[in-house]
Amino acid sequence: MKRQVLALEARLRMCRNVRTIGVRPNFADYSEKEVNWIREAGKIYYPTVFYADLFNAVGKPTFPSYHTYKCVQDKIKQSALFQLAGLPHPRTRVFYGSRQKAKIREYFSYPCIAKEPRGSSMGRGVFMINNDNDLNAYIHDRHVAYVQQYLPIDRDIRVVVIGSKAVHAYWRIAGEGEFRTNVAMGGRISLDPVPEAAIALAQQAAQTCGWDDVGMDICCHDGQFTILEANMKYGREGFRAAGIDYIQMMEQLIDDGEI
């Protein structure tokens, strides 16, 4: 008999081997039966950022891992982690307050890239900074500025790592007149072969950072692969384009004990 696992978030609700009970902001709102399921489960799947912290505190494993949740939509932590681990990453710096923001031009020339440091996805909150006016508009109402070296590319690679292995990899090509490759920003998916070196880098980075459910965005610049950022809330467009049944894949990974 195949095992059944317990999930809070609805991401796996269509999986035959997952019991999804939902996310209750107040733990007291779970029924006695649900509380027993949580306490007895060997692992909780998709617990949310809030409950991942709590489960980690009491020693309850989760999928995605606690470390994965700690870096969800937090580019500042991601960049610091890449730098700490010695992973290839565009030159990036964070500036706090008006005094530090005044130093941006000492570290970066135009063009450069500025991003919302936390909470953005799908290419939103990513800005091309071409001149002083662009920079002033970006820093005007932000206490924290996240600025990154501009790499003149028109495509990147999305490698999805689940568990300990890459399950899918594909190219994302920017639309005409657009520097962002995100599908939500008009980028298109290409299923041309992805270099093994890019896939290996994604797997290495995910393992080094303790992430087990992540879309790693990688580009080739000056003949070298570099990690742009990590997306823990990645879309499924690439799976659909390749004819991969995401739900069936996740069911199999659970059955095989890989996640």
Q: What's the token pair of residue 33?
A: 């039966």
Last residue of a domain, one of 149, 170, 185: 149
Domain that holds residue 58: 5-63
Q: Label the pairing between strands 18-20 and 5-7.
A: parallel
Q: What is the pLDDT of residues 2-39, one digit of tens each?
A: 689 999 999 999 999 999 999 999 999 999 999 999 99
Are residues 143 and 199 both part of a single domain? no
- When divided into structural domains, the chain yields a total of 3
Are residues 28 and 108 both part of a single domain? no
Is 0.85 surpassed by the pTM of this model?
A: yes
Q: What is the pLDDT of residues 122-158, one digit of tens each?
A: 557 899 999 999 999 999 989 999 999 999 999 999 9
Query: How many other C-beta atoms are found inside a 10 Å radius of the C-beta of residue 129?
Result: 22
Per-residue model confidence (pLDDT) at position 125: 86
Q: What is the pLDDT of residues 227-247, one digit of tens each?
A: 999 999 999 999 999 999 999
Which CATH number do you get for residue 210? 3.30.470.20
Assigned domain for 68 exists: no
Mean pLDDT of the chain: 95
